[in-house]
Structures are given as C-alpha cells and as structure tokens.
C-alpha cells in the first residue's frame, strides 16, 4: 500500500476555449471536473498502474463532497481524507485550443484549525503502520504550520517508511530539514531553494541540505537525478506538444511505484519520464495516455553514471 498526503485537496475544473483573450467573453467548448490536488493526482496514476493506494489530507464543504464522490470511481484507491469545517478549494484550468497553452487559477484552500491539524497528525501516524511508501505533496492550506512537512517527514522516517516530498516555497525550505528520502522539485522550485539556476549544481546543493536523493523535473528536457547510487539524466525521445497539467504528479507516481517495486534508479527514471510525457499527450488534463506511455517507456534516453562503492 502507498500513502499520498494532500493537505490542500482541490476540485479541478478544466475549461477548453477556442482562444483565450484577456478581458473578453468566451464560449467554453468543453468542461471537465475531477478530484485534484497533487497527491490525489499521484494516487490516481498509481492506481492506474495497479498499486493499492490510500489518499489522506483535508476535505470539506460541497466541493469536498464532490471530490470524495469522484474518488469512489477509482479502483484500488482508499479514501482516508479528514473532514474540516471549511470548504475545499477549486482550481480552474483554462485551455487555449489554438495555442495549446493552459492558464491556471488556484484558490487558497480552507482554513485549518489547530484541533483539525492535530487530528490529522494522529491519523497520519496510524496510517503509516500499513504502507510501503508515502508522498507528501502540494501546498499548505491556511492554518497549517509552515514547517508541517518537516514534521511529517520525520514521523515517516521514525516509522521506517520511505518518504517523497513534492512542494515549493517556504514549505520546501523547511521540509527538506526533515531529510526526505526523495525530493522532487521542478527547475523553478530548485532555483528558489538553492539560489542556483544551473541544474546539476542546484540539485547537488539540495541534496547537501538534507534530501537522500533529489530528482529535479526540467520540463521538456526531462529530469536530473542525484542519488546515493549515482546521478542520471532522463529525457523523452523528442520534445512533445500538449497540456503539461499533472505531468509532474505522474512523474512522482513513476518514482514511487519504482521505489516500492525495488527497481534500479535508471528504470525508475525511465518510468517517471514516460508517464510524465504520456500525461502531456493525454486529451484530458492530468490523465495519462496508456498507449503512449507503453510506447515511450522503451525510448526514454538515459545518461549518467553509478557512484563508486
């Protein structure tokens, strides 16, 4: 069983318009609605890969009920979300069909009380007893301490459960002090954390700050991984045109599934890149194209070296 934590869950709404023009009225050609938040997206991909996965975090209000109803349709996924008095946020993605670009609008999320935060920590510690890995994903809702992820990482490590951290800003800077087994920043988050825009330098610096391994997502250039076993770059065979929404979450799912299946790092990275690329190519934002994934998996370009023993 894999556990994903999404403290700031969301109901993801995607609008498609022929062309997005600021200040203009638009006719929406298609609307999709689904449960979201980074850890929820990771869980959905893990379930599609055949893994049993539990989702926890906070949910509340009408959007929270709609989110939980959507989760019931996902085979292999267990809902362990905690109710809060506030209302789960919505995220709105507007896809410009002419350019292929996506504009994202993210609400802040519900305010979490100290009692609700304490209740979550108790549930989280209990859930760790039956899982093989945990992913801590996304932003923090109002009311949750900025150092929350550092504490959750330490709790997982004390339970001897490997933990992956995927967040940004202050929660990332504080969270890395908990020494996560895997840190998954994108290029912008990595530069903000370390002050360096050179990927290898920044990734090595992030590892020195406390992460066991750092896997940096470099967008269309694939990823860079610096681990105790070695360092590698992995990239799709060609640049892809599509919607990148959810590609980073599919990457995390690839890393986690490879971890619990005890795959060597190059195979984990190939899976992560193939899943991420197949998400860019999918017609529905945040889903992955299984046929594209299977076709891309053997074509991911891996370069790197194994560390000396």
How many beta carbons lie within 10 A of that of residue 2, not counting itself? 24
- Helices 199-208 and 187-194 cross at an angle (nearest 10°) of 60
For the chain, the first-to-last Cα distance in angstroms comes to: 32
Residue 84: HSE in the Cβ half-sphere, 13 Å Cα cutoff: 30
Spell 96-133 as b/e; 16+ CB within 10 A means b. beeeeebeeeebebbebeeebbebbeeebeebbeebeb
Q: Write down the catalytic residue from 79, 249, 267, 289.
A: 249
Cα separations in angstroms, 119 against 110, 116, 155, 171, 301: 16, 5, 15, 20, 45
Decide if 249 is catalytic.
yes
**Long-range contact set of residues 187-194: C-beta below 8 Å, sequence gap at least 24:** 187/216, 187/217, 187/218, 187/219, 190/214, 190/216, 192/168
Residue 208: HSE in the Cβ half-sphere, 13 Å Cα cutoff: 8
Quote the CA–CA distance of 175 and 10 in Å, as a whole number: 22
SS3 67: helix
Cα separations in angstroms, 69 against 34, 108, 140: 10, 22, 23
Residue positions annotated with a catalytic role: 249
């Amino acid at each position: 069983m894999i556990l994903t934590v999404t403290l700031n869950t969301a109901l993801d709404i995607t609008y498609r318009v022929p062309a997005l023009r600021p200040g203009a009225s638009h006719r929406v050609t298609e609307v999709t609605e689904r449960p979201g938040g980074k850890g929820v997206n990771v869980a959905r991909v893990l379930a599609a890969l055949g893994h049993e996965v539990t989702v926890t975090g906070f949910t509340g209000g009408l959007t929270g009920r709609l989110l939980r109803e959507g989760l019931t349709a996902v085979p292999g996924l267990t809902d362990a979300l905690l109710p809060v008095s506030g209302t789960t946020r919505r995220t709105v993605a507007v896809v410009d069909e002419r350019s292929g670009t996506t504009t994202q609008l993210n609400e802040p999320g519900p305010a979490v009380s100290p009692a609700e935060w304490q209740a979550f920590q108790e549930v989280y510690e209990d859930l760790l007893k039956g899982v093989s890995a945990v992913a801590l994903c996304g932003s923090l809702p109002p009311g949750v301490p900025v150092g929350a992820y550092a504490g959750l990482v330490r709790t997982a490590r004390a339970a001897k459960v490997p933990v992956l951290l995927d967040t940004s800003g202050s929660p990332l800077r504080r969270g890395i002090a908990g020494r996560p087994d895997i840190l998954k920043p994108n290029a912008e988050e990595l530069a903000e954390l370390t002050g360096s825009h050179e990927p290898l330098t920044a990734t090595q610096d992030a590892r020195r700050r406390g992460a066991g391994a750092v896997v940096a997502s470099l967008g269309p250039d694939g990823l860079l991984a610096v681990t105790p076993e070695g360092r590698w770059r992995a990239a799709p065979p060609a640049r892809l045109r599509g919607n990148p929404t959810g590609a980073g979450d599919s990457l995390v799912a690839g890393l986690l599934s490879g971890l619990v299946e005890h795959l060597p790092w190059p195979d984990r990275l190939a899976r992560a890149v193939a899943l991420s690329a197949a998400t860019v190519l999918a017609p529905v934002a945040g889903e992955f194209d299984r046929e594209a994934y299977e076709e891309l998996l053997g074509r991911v370009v891996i370069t790197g070296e194994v560390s000396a023993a």
